[in-house]
Amino acid sequence: MFLRLIYQSLRLQRRRKLMAALAIMLGVAVATATIAIATDIGDKISEELRSYGANISVVPQEDTLDLNVGGVNIKPASEGAFLNEADLPKIKGIFWRNNIRGFAPFLSTQVTLGSGTTARTVELIGTYFDKQLRYGKDEFTAGVIKTSPWWHVQGEWPRDDEHAVLVGAHLANEIDLKRGDGVVINGQQFRVAGILSTGSGEEQAIVAPLFLAQQFAGKPGAVRRILVSAVTKPEDAFARTDPRTLKGPAYDRWYCSPYALSIAHQLEEVIPNAHAEQIRQIAQNEGKVLNKIQGLMLLITIAALCAAALAVSAAMATAIMERRHEVGLMKAMGAGNASVAALFMTEAGVLALIGGAAGFAIGAILATVIGRSIFNSTIAVQPVLFPIVIAVAFLVTYGGSFASIRRAVRLDPSLILRGNA
């Protein structure tokens, strides 16, 4: 009889129940999409911010040592400390090696451009463009093509083993150089593979394969700086903890978390005499952007669920008002308050289950569409999210139905049957 009453209620009040189920479905769909995005957005934002450049800088340890006498810094102005190029493949040997998306070494020196009366001194920057490296059995590529995706070359990238260079756009405009021209550097002829636009100091310099900069500087195998692009976890209070003060599980947790600081620490372990630190503009912006987007997702979720609860409340209130004579008859025949409440709560539970399941499916599709349109990748909706979404659907439905069910339980059958209520 109990199940029959529920069936008849759903059949005879299809319009009311459909409106309630639709409200639940829409609220749950938005909640599913926002929760899925919020749980998967960290890596997506980290990937997106990699397009703005490297987030870790590695320099010689000596560069971080200050020598003060009487409050005056007397550290030599010359750049005499270098890293060893042979140590670069070790970057792929750290614990978070799979989070290293790219790195590029740099070495700068002054060279003479041109000859005769037109000769001028300019900066030559040596680096990797897209160099093949090996660590153990793993082969990978490194260079500015990965770490500096905003660098634009009009022409072609030089190979890392050829005598060709890129000329900065401002410098090329000043001396009227074009792609394919020849240029004299320190008395040697080189081909201009392309014109480089970066929006920064490189446009006033020549950018060449690293081995050429080492030859001109007389520093074979030397590297002045390494820029590393790594997928990291946004910095929090624990990330800023000095690892020297941590012991046991706390240190393991810090070391095994993909913070920029912990990855920098691991880079110092594998590269001798190196000091690594995060480029704070990138790391801090990542955390701020992530926190703001997650806060926005939370507000949207709360607003959607509150709207669904209000819609369910209105639908249930109208349905119970229409069925007040049925409630009065049930009580007159001996039904207790618990039985009346169980009837309406079961109906609400059925609506929550139907609306929650449909909302989860629609929310998964919505999350995929948002992921492709914003991040150009798929947002993964984990199956473990389904029971959470169903629980949220029940919470919203019962929250919206509570006042109406309470009113139904308190109805006086004698007043109802006499037509006074």
Give the pLDDT confidence of 384-396 residue by residue, as tens digits. Answer: 888 988 998 888 8
Q: Is residue 16 pLDDT above 80, yes or no?
A: no
Paired tokens of 322: 């229409």
DSSP states along 53-65: --SEEEEEGGGG-
Q: Over range 85-113, report the average pLDDT.
A: 92
Report the pLDDT value the prediction gives residue 232, as an integer from 0 to 100.
80
Report the pLDDT value the prediction gives residue 280, as an integer from 0 to 100.
66
Radius of gyration in angstroms for the set of CA atoms belonging to the chain, rounded to a whole number: 33
Name residues whose C-beta falls within 8 Å of residue 229's C-beta, 6 or more positions apart in sequence. 50, 53, 54, 55, 56, 100, 101, 102, 103, 146, 147
Give this prediction's pTM: 0.65
Q: How confident is the model at residue 70 (pLDDT cuts 50, 70, 90)?
A: very low
CA distance 154 to 180: 11
Q: Over range 225-236, report the average pLDDT.
A: 83
Q: Over range 58-64, report the average pLDDT.
A: 82
Place of tokens 């984990």: 382
Report the pLDDT value the prediction gives residue 69, as an integer from 0 to 100.
44
Model confidence pLDDT, tens digit, residues 158-194: 999 999 999 999 999 998 888 989 999 998 999 999 9
Average pLDDT of the chain? 81
Q: How confident is the model at residue 77 (pLDDT cuts 50, 70, 90)?
A: very low
Q: Is residue 91 pLDDT above 70, yes or no?
A: yes
Report the pLDDT value the prediction gives residue 41, as an integer from 0 to 100.
66
